[in-house]
């Protein structure tokens, strides 16, 4: 089998790359370790930056998103009983949209089906060979048979635990990581959102987030210890704790109900450099992880796809390899800016076990600076809606 580009990973970044390349006449094969149903059952964040929204339009898969998404013109920050709004539209004339990653992935799979794109599910033993040569190839097992695909390039969109990053030799690859000393306990409930905008809450009891998927589906989080177990958190205990961490005016109108999904996620910042080795490119979680505080995970993957798509199109259409040679540098430049924003907002809004009284006073001063200074709010808005590619 042969393809111009092999995409390892059938999540949203791999599918978006495949759709964009298809529109330029570039052939791809997508390899996915799980089943399609498994991929589409995964619950992930759904805040889309301006750049990702525009890429969905460019890929011709924005129809349902445009009809069903929720446009958010700002966000809210609370500290103790104070609540203030950061209005993106007034500050910078932009917005974000809420559209579940599961729905976005559905749209991309439907588009791939419509174009006849090749997708192979339940692959095992994927190995990337000769990525540092002009003739890379990928081997794997599917349907009980050993298979091989020869290609020009490999796009590693297979996540943090995938094989793509590990293919880059240790002597070449350098990894940077910060693990935060807490996690997020999150629940999904069939209840109306408590507010029109997201609320990021800093309280003496720890961080909380009030988010949503649609008018009858809400997503809530509270900061928790890494040692906490899901079974130790009843729905009643979760709702009680959430109410203690948000302003009284918000807690009084919170509609509670049974959780339909509950999970605990650790928080970490992670970057692997470089993001290109020969003809292998890393995209998304294969190369970097951000804390969810700044809503950057899917969006940093999308910016990688933007740079890689541009590089490959220029290579095939213009025989210009400059985009390929500079892909890692361009992608990492934006990744580190997103890492900074996520790191900064995580430090701003959470309680840390080793914080001193001085640290808490400084944290409060930082939040008040964001509350009362337009320059600080403008910086926050520019980063939240997404820096330009």
Q: SS3 of 214, please?
A: strand
Q: How far is residue 103's CA from residue 64's CA, in Å, rounded to a whole number?
A: 9
What is the CB neighbour count within 10 angstroms for residue 378?
15
Yes or no: say if 34 and 121 are a contact pair by the CB < 8 Å rule: yes
Diameter of the chain measured on Cα atoms: 63
Burial class (CB in 10 A: 0-12, 13-18, 19+), 166: middle
Q: Catalytic: which of 12, 22, 72, 291?
A: 72
- Any residues with CB less than 8 A from the CB of 31 and at least 6 apart, and which? 6, 7, 8, 9, 10, 120, 123, 126, 138, 140
Distances (CA, A) of 58 to 2, 236, 358: 27, 44, 49
Instruction: Identify which of 328, 288, 289 has the alpha carbon closest to the alpha carbon of residue 308.
Output: 328
Please say if 296 is a catalytic residue: yes
Distance from chain centroid for Cα 233: 26
Q: Catalytic: which of 288, 291, 292, 306?
A: 292
Please say if 292 is a catalytic residue: yes
Yes or no: say if 68 and 215 are a contact pair by the CB < 8 Å rule: no
Structure token pair of residue 348? 């701003």
- Any residues with CB less than 8 A from the CB of 161 and at least 6 apart, and which? none
Q: SS3 of 201, please?
A: strand
Instruction: Identify which of 188, 180, 261 has the alpha carbon closest to the alpha carbon of residue 226.
Output: 180
- Any residues with CB less than 8 A from the CB of 128 and at least 6 apart, and which? 8, 136, 138, 154, 156, 163, 164, 167, 280
Q: How far is residue 210's CA from residue 246's CA, in Å, rounded to a whole number?
A: 9
| Cα distance between the two ends of the chain | 34
Q: How far is residue 259's CA from residue 118's CA, in Å, rounded to a whole number?
A: 37
Please say if 136 is a catalytic residue: no
Q: How far is residue 334's CA from residue 318's CA, in Å, rounded to a whole number?
A: 25
Please say if 38 is a catalytic residue: no
Q: Catalytic: which of 296, 306, 330, 350?
A: 296
Please say if 79 is a catalytic residue: no
Active site residues per annotation: 72, 200, 292, 296, 384
């Amino acid at each position: 089998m042969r393809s111009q580009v092999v995409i390892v990973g059938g999540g949203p970044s791999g599918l978006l790359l495949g759709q964009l390349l298809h529109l330029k006449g570039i052939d791809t094969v997508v390899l996915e370790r799980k089943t399609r149903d498994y991929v589409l059952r995964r619950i992930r964040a759904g805040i889309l930056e301006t750049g990702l929204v525009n890429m969905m339009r460019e890929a011709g898969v924005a129809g349902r998103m445009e009809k069903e998404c929720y446009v958010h013109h700002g966000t809210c920050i609370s500290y103790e009983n104070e609540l203030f709004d950061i209005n993106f539209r007034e500050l910078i004339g932009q917005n974000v949209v809420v559209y579940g990653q599961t729905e976005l992935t559905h749209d991309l799979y439907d588009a791939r089906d419509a174009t006849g794109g090749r997708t192979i599910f339940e692959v095992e033993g994927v190995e990337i060979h000769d990525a540092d040569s002009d003739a890379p190839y990928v081997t794997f097992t599917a349907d009980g048979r050993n298979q091989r695909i020869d290609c020009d390039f490999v796009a590693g969109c297979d996540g943090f635990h995938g094989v793509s990053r590990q293919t880059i030799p240790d002597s070449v690859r350098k990894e940077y990581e910060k693990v935060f000393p807490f996690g997020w306990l999150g629940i999904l409930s069939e209840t109306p959102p408590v507010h029109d905008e997201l609320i990021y809450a800093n309280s003496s009891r720890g961080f909380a987030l009030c988010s949503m998927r649609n008018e009858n589906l809400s997503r809530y989080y509270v900061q928790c210890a890494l040692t906490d177990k899901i079974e130790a958190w009843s729905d009643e205990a979760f709702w009680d704790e959430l109410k203690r961490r948000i302003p009284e005016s918000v807690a009084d109108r919170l509609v509670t109900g049974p959780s339909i999904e509950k999970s605990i996620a650790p928080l970490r910042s992670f970057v692997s450099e470089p993001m290109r080795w020969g003809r292998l490119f890393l995209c998304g979680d294969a190369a970097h992880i951000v804390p969810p505080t700044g809503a950057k995970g899917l969006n940093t993957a999308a910016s990688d796809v933007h740079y890689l798509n541009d590089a490959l199109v220029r290579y095939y259409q213009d025989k210009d390899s400059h985009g390929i040679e500079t892909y890692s540098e361009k992608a990492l430049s934006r990744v580190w800016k997103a890492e900074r924003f996520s790191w900064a907002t995580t430090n701003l809004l959470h309680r840390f076990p080793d914080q001193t009284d001085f640290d808490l006073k400084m944290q409060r001063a930082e939040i008040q600076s964001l509350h009362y200074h337009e320059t600080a709010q403008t910086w926050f808005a520019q980063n939240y809606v997404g820096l330009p590619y």
